[in-house]
Amino acid sequence: MVRRRVMHEETGENGRLVAVVATHRRLADLRRTLAALLAAPARDLAAVLVVDNASDDGTADWLAAQRDPRLHVLTLPENRGGAGGFEAGMRQAMAALSPDWLLVMDDDSRPEPGALATFQRLDLGGYDGIAAAVRCPDGTLADMNRPTFNPFWHKRILARTLLGGGRGAFHLGERDFARTGLRPIDGASFVGFFVRARVVAEAGYPDPALFLYGDDAIYTMGLTRAGYRLGFAPEVRFVHASTTYSPADPRLRPLWKSYYYHRNLLILYRIATGIFFYPVLCLYIPRWLYRLRHHGGERRQFLTLFGLALKDGLRGQTGRPHAEVLDRARALNE
């Protein structure tokens, strides 16, 4: 149940903005994130809905003690992952908080001072969703949050990719972050992603069965494929203090996350590549298997989870219960 009533107040030029934050066992991060959000005036940010994915680290008690009337809390009975948290939160925000725009974001990300006011001043005519410019705390680009083009929808970008451009050919980079003004994109992450409530009502919600990883890219590219227009706003700046990826340790930790990572990438690649899916698959499967070199004494566990991901991803099946994934990972370690 969502607690606290909706406050009706003056809104910014782009209407009533409601932020949806999914959290799980990261209270220190959540406290910083909410402080940054609630520092914005109500005109720029009307409400914040925190989705607590059954945290057991004191998150529920801390949230219950907060008194800002703009803060609302949805507590889930079990951890549904980022995808399940965003789906439940967006659905509740649409039903109870009357948004014109939704802002979806992780609990370890936050808007820079003035970012939401900048969003409210944007001329968003013709755009259905907006991605913010996301950097790491040290000022470098947050690689996982770089807006993207689908090269298979753009001949020139596909050519640059095939000619050695790699990921840099279809992900926005420093030059794009330095320019001003909106520009179209095909996909974005759920860190500083703004979407019109009307679009959500028409197109639906993220797939909660994805659990985590790739749910944002699948959702936003699905919007683009359905004819909605997404844009990148470099003036709207966010910070993402993620520790998911580390240059010192390229493994996904804990290891069970590798199941979702590879399964959901297969689902995303099928959406993105169309008839080129299987040729692309022949390129990526060897790259993924090459990651075995990072796993030392847990190669059998990695290969077993990877095999499950391959089986489910190729079939487009997302119904494997999270408890089963955890049980498989535990059994492999016994």
Domains and CATH numbers, the chain: 17-140+176-240 (3.90.550.60), 257-333 (no CATH)
Q: Is the dihedral of CA 155, 316, 242, 297 positive or negative?
A: negative
Looking at every residue in the chain, the average pLDDT score rounds to 91
**Arithmetic mean of pLDDT, 187-203:** 98
297 has a pLDDT exceeding 80: no
4 has a pLDDT exceeding 80: no
pLDDT digit string, tens, across residues 9-19: 578 899 999 99
**Arithmetic mean of pLDDT, 205-211:** 97
Confidence of residue 247 (pLDDT cuts 50, 70, 90): low
pLDDT of residue 293: 79
What percentage of residues in the chain have a pLDDT greater than 90?
A: 78
pLDDT of residue 334: 58
**Arithmetic mean of pLDDT, 295-300:** 80
pLDDT of residue 1: 43
